[in-house]
Chain A
Amino acid sequence: MPGIDRRLIQNFEWPIFLMGLALALIGIVNLISASPERGGGLIPDTAWRQLVWMGMGLGLLLATLVLDYRTLERIALPFYGVVIVLLVAVLFFGRIVNGSQRWIELGPMNLQPSELAKLALILLFARLLARRSSSAPIGLLDLAGPAVLVAIPAALIVKQPDLGTALVVSVVSASFLAVTRVRVSSLVLIASAGLAAVTVAWFFFLHDYQKERVFTFLNPERDPLGAAYHSIQAQIAVGSGGLFGKGFMLGSQSQLDFLPEEQTDFVFSVLGEEWGFVGSAIVLLLYLGILIRGLMIAHSSKDLFGAYLAVGIVSLFFWAGMINVGMVIGVLPVVGVPLPMLSYGGSALLTCMVALGLLMNVSMRRYIF
């Protein structure tokens, strides 16, 4: 085949591919159990749709491998622009579900631009950092521009409102600081600015239900109907799974519909109940495998853009995975962040698979030039 280097095939990145595929398949099986409506066949609608998305994701993943990731450096800016336009458009034309306006209807599918925003920011920052000519530590002034670049999409996403995704987008962007040299004084200032921003957000931007969730985390007795209820039920479900779990489709908490949002933000509790500690540990280890392998890919990357790209993707999986699982097992407040690869949601799955594709892309080209 023209354009495909033989070495590319020899160096196929199997670990990421197999771990990602395993997670996606576990996700589908888990969704079958997590779907309350089981109309005609064995496989409910939601799981079917997710399977279709997964197929598309797989195709897209393999297709992007052909493309050299370094060409992405050039489209980073235009892609960011397109995502901003989509985020503005969704506020006007988006479909509203449960009071949030997050989706753009595209025929039978719904596109969630905030998912694309995650990729856009990772590409953008990888490019900015890779292109940095000066080797001096990054000062506060250097951070002003990037801060604005994060704030625009984050604000648009908060407006939908989707606090969870806005949070992930922000922390993933901020995580790039971990792999750059930043002046200590700047870090202190950033921390205080962050604190100020949280204060302002609290008083001016957060919706009551969002504040309620924070209060509830601090004091779970406060709202037995809302967030605390989710948290308590999720912990009962996970805990009752025991060592080996109750078995596929046999989780009483899940099947009796005690669980909230069991297809999206709380899928992990269904997994925990039905597959026990063994099942959930395997899934957590698969994530850990992807994270560590991702960091190795960053380490061995031939160029800085590739290294930063890999770091960004690892950071995305790290934060989303940690916040979601932490919420389900009661160590973090209830924030609406989907679990990568496992939660129901086409745009999210597609974004994750493309991200894994990029990771593989970087890995497979480490010997080429």
Chain B
Amino acid sequence: MNRLTATGSPADAVVERRLTAVAVLVVAVWMLLLTRLFYLQVVQGDVYRISAEKNSVRTQRVDAPRGVITDRNGEVLVGSRPSFDVLVVPHETEDVPTTLSRIAGLTGRDLETIQASYGQPRGRGRFQPQRVAHDLDRDQLARVEGRLWALGGVLTQVTPVRGYRYGDSAAHLLGWLGEIGAEQLAKKEFQNYRRGDIIGVGGIERLLDTDLRGRPGGRNLLVDAHGRELQLLSSVDPEPGRNVVLTIDHRLQQVAEEGLTRQHKSGAVVALDPRTGEILALVSHPAFDPNEFAIGVDPARWRELTTDQFRPLMNRAVQGQYPPGSTYKVVTAIGGMEEKLINTHSEVTCGGWFRLGRRTYRCWKQGGHGVVDLQVALVQSCDVFFYKLGLELGVNRLAYYARSLGLGARTGIELTGEMAGLVPTKEWKERRDGTPWVEGDTVSLSIGQGMNLWTPLQLANAYASIVNGGTRYRPHVLKRIEEPDGRIVQSVEPEILGELPISPATLAAVRAGLVGVVHDPHGTGAVMKSLPGGVVAGGKTGTAQVVALPQGARADVEDTTHFERDHAWFVTYAPADSPRIVIAVLVEHGGHGGSAAAPIAREVMTRFLENEADLYAGNRP
């Protein structure tokens, strides 16, 4: 056995001596393990056997209350409400099928759904209450409670569920909840989640899920073989989630929603503070009621929502991409001024049409506007003025100024799924279509028809930078995150994305035009006149063609079917000299901007100014 030392090196001798010591150590450790095992199984064996057979430790999870979401004034938008549930403990129920059908009878719920919720509990699941009916109303609850004495193994329980106070109001922004999916669980970022966890699916609920969810607690209970709770062994209180305060003013949000609802039209409204980028209202219509998802969505209802031709799940304010119509004309105007192609005195004669090669492009006003300068062209939305100017600028210079306003790119709002829109260039068209850009394309483009696509949020933010003196802010909906005790965790400060590469004189000329749109006798936005307190507003209408019509013709609203009608835009801001709000309204297939979109903008603006007046008068909301 002593072969190692035979080789004689000192290293060998060390190895040999150490090996004996190691062997002693190994045996000692193993003896410790065996001793502990003996203690557990033989000395304490009976105690544990009783634990295992008579009693078992049941672990109950205690969910953390999810954080509350409020608007900027502290109005609770999302909180909790009680849900009355019926549960069945399999182990204590003698005849499960009969019990389930009696519950179905008492609650008026569908028996198949109840059977499906009950599932097929096995093993440990047989000791745990299975929820078979969720969110009963008071009458249903009363009927079940009245029969509980005859229903062995049936319990009722109150649990908090997520409550969206205003139903479908701000649904896209707030988001909804659902059970975590298998593919999410497989990702590292979700490693602190467990199967069956409820997680935010859309909007703020998803974005701030880790803040809102808190930390679940738990209780270890000693229960007997009948599942009765004998003793509380230990418990840890859940840590409630953090509260989220949004920049939204829910009163404006509601006014905008009511406006779109009244018109029975799909559309979007964005209101923001041009001084900070804070979003005051973010509306997409039609919407859905997130409360329907809070208790598990019915598959048929989900199918209905996803196949609805009006696409209620889409957040039009950040995901809808529309041609800008005449709201685009500010881009053409800014380009012309900056490139010194025009000044405020340059005049063009509009005879009602513009000829390019063999094609004729008409102005929306038959017979024309006569002699127009920039101010008149913006006020009366003269097409011919901008046809000419756009053609001189060319597509790529138009694209440059559009991009410098943040158009055709994501604004960087926190919400996921924001679309970038589109600002076409020569190269882009050649790449996409394989056909060269032609001057006719530029002509259409310069009045906002053709290939441009913007989201309502982009439009609002672009106008905000024009009217606030040239600063682009990142629009945001999150104001702050607070601990349950009110301590502020995170507070969102305005973030400047950049300054417009546009001279103050140009911006002033454009703003003068926008005020004229509202206050000039010939302006297209007269709806915004005489606001509360005599506040002066500016604005711009837009009508975006959905279907290309024969040369220059405009569709008569009454003649076309719904989905062929033009989209109506209106963007407005006030007060004109130092704006505190910008509102962009889009009504899908609404027809003319001045008539379909502007009235909604006016309602929101009026409400905003009245709220401010209330505030100054000392009436807190």
Chain B residues lying within 8 Å of A232, measured Cβ to Cβ, are: 57, 220
CA gap between A243 and B44 in the complex, in Å: 10
B553 within 8 Å of A by Cβ? no
Of B6-14, B165-173, B499-507, B517-525, the one with at least 4 CB within 8 A of chain A: B6-14
In the complex formed, the residue of B with least CB distance to A299 is B19
User: With A179-B15, A235-B40, A304-B15 known to touch, is A257 a contact of B219 (CB < 8 Å)?
Assistant: no
Q: Is the interface of B mostly helix, strand, loop or mixed?
A: helix
In the assembled complex, the CB of A120 is this many whole angstroms from the nearest CB of chain B, namely 22
B61 CB within 8 Å of chain A: yes
Q: Do B19 and A209 touch (CB < 8 A)? A: no
B1 close to chain A: CB less than 8 A:
yes
B52 contacts partner chain A, Cβ-Cβ < 8 Å = yes
Contacts of A222 in B (CB 8 A): 236
Find out whether the CB atom of A288 lies under 8 angstroms from the CB atom of B23.
no
B residues in contact with A26, CB < 8 Å: none
- Residues on A with C-beta less than 8 A from B150 are none
Task: Answer whether residue B117 sits at the interface, using C-beta atoms and an 8 A cutoff.
Answer: no
> Are B187's CB and A96's CB within 8 A?
yes
- B124 near A256: Cβ-Cβ < 8 Å: yes
CA gap between A252 and B55 in the complex, in Å: 11
Pairwise interchain contact B41-A272, C-beta atoms closer than 8 A: yes
Knowing A239-B40, A307-B15, A318-B26 are in contact, say whether A224-B218 is a contact too (CB < 8 A).
Answer: yes
CB distance from A242 to the nearest CB of B (A): 4
Q: In the complex, what distance in Å separates the CA atom of A97 from the CA atom of B46?
A: 38
Residues B184-201 near A (CB distance < 8 A)? 185-188, 190-192
Rounded to whole Å, the gap between the CB of B91 and the closest CB of chain A is 11
Q: Which A residues from 251 to 295 make CB contacts under 8 A with B?
A: 252-253, 255-258, 272-273, 276-277, 280-281, 284, 287-288, 291-292, 295
Does B547 count as interface, using CB distance less than 8 angstroms?
Answer: no
Q: A237 to chain B: which residues have CB within 8 Å?
A: 52
Give chain A interface residues in 275-328, CB to chain B under 8 Å.
276-277, 280-281, 284, 287-288, 291-292, 295-296, 298-304, 307-308, 311, 314, 318, 322, 325-326
Q: Are A284 and B4 in contact (CB under 8 A)?
A: no
Complex Cα–Cα for A257 and B126 (A): 11
Residue of A whose beta carbon sits closest to that of B6: A302
Assess the B37–A272 pair: CB atoms within 8 A.
yes
Given A224-B59, A240-B45, A307-B4, 17 further pairs, Cβ under 8 A: A135-B9, A179-B15, A180-B14, A207-B191, A223-B218, A237-B52, A238-B48, A239-B49, A284-B30, A288-B26, A291-B26, A295-B26, A299-B16, A301-B3, A304-B12, A307-B15, A326-B33
Return 23 A-B CB contacts under 8 Å, by A number: A99-B187, A180-B18, A221-B234, A222-B236, A224-B219, A237-B52, A238-B37, A239-B47, A240-B48, A241-B45, A242-B49, A243-B45, A272-B37, A277-B38, A301-B4, A304-B11, A307-B4, A311-B15, A314-B22, A329-B37, A330-B36, A331-B32, A331-B36
Chain B residues packing against A (C-beta within 8 Å): 1, 3-4, 7, 9-12, 14-16, 18-19, 21-23, 26-27, 29-30, 32-34, 36-38, 40-42, 44-49, 51-53, 56-57, 59, 61, 122-125, 185-188, 190-192, 216-220, 233-236
